[in-house]
Amino acid sequence: MTSWAYGTSHLALTRRARLQKGETLLVLGAAGGVGLTAVEIGKALGARVIAVARGGAKLEVARRAGADHTIDASEDLTTTLKDLGGVDVIYDPVGGALAASAMRALRPEGRMVVIGFASGDVTPLRANHMLVKNIDVIGFYWGGYLKVNPAALTESMDALMHMQAAGRLAPHISHTLPFERADEGLAMLENRTSTGKIVITF
Are 92 and 184 part of one and the same domain?
no
Lowest mean pLDDT among 6-15, 16-25, 109-118, 181-190: 181-190
- Does position 60 have pLDDT exceeding 80, yes or no? yes
Are 19 and 82 part of one and the same domain?
yes
Are 58 and 136 part of one and the same domain?
yes
Asked whether 28 and 102 are in contact (CB, 8 A), the reply is yes
Confidence of residue 3 (pLDDT cuts 50, 70, 90): low
Are 202 and 117 part of one and the same domain?
no
What's the pLDDT score for residue 194?
61
Q: Is 168 part of any domain?
A: no
- What DSSP element (H or E) covers 13? none
> What pLDDT, in 10s, does the model give residues 115-173?
999 888 998 888 888 899 999 999 999 999 999 999 999 999 999 899 888 888 777 66
What's the pLDDT score for residue 59?
96
What's the pLDDT score for residue 144?
93
Task: Choose between 187 and 8: higher pLDDT.
Answer: 8
CA distance 66 to 194: 18
Are 8 and 103 part of one and the same domain?
yes
Nearest to 14 by CA among 134, 158, 147: 158
What is the sign of the dihedral through the CA atoms of 12, 16, 19 and 25? negative
Confidence of residue 112 (pLDDT cuts 50, 70, 90): very high
Mean per-residue pLDDT, 63-74: 96
Are 95 and 25 part of one and the same domain?
yes
> What pLDDT, in 10s, does the model give residues 18-36?
999 999 999 999 998 899 9
Are 103 and 179 part of one and the same domain?
no
Q: Name the DSSP letter for residue 86.
A: -
Are 119 and 199 part of one and the same domain?
no
- Does position 186 have pLDDT exceeding 90, yes or no? no
Asked whether 115 and 34 are in contact (CB, 8 A), the reply is yes
What is the rounded average pLDDT for all residues in the chain? 89
Q: Is 151 part of any domain?
A: no
What's the structural domain count of the chain? 2
Confidence of residue 1 (pLDDT cuts 50, 70, 90): very low
- Does position 17 have pLDDT exceeding 90, yes or no? yes
The CA-based angle 16-63-24, given to 5 degrees, is 35
For 184, the domain range is: 173-202
Q: Is 159 part of any domain?
A: no
Are 138 and 179 part of one and the same domain?
no
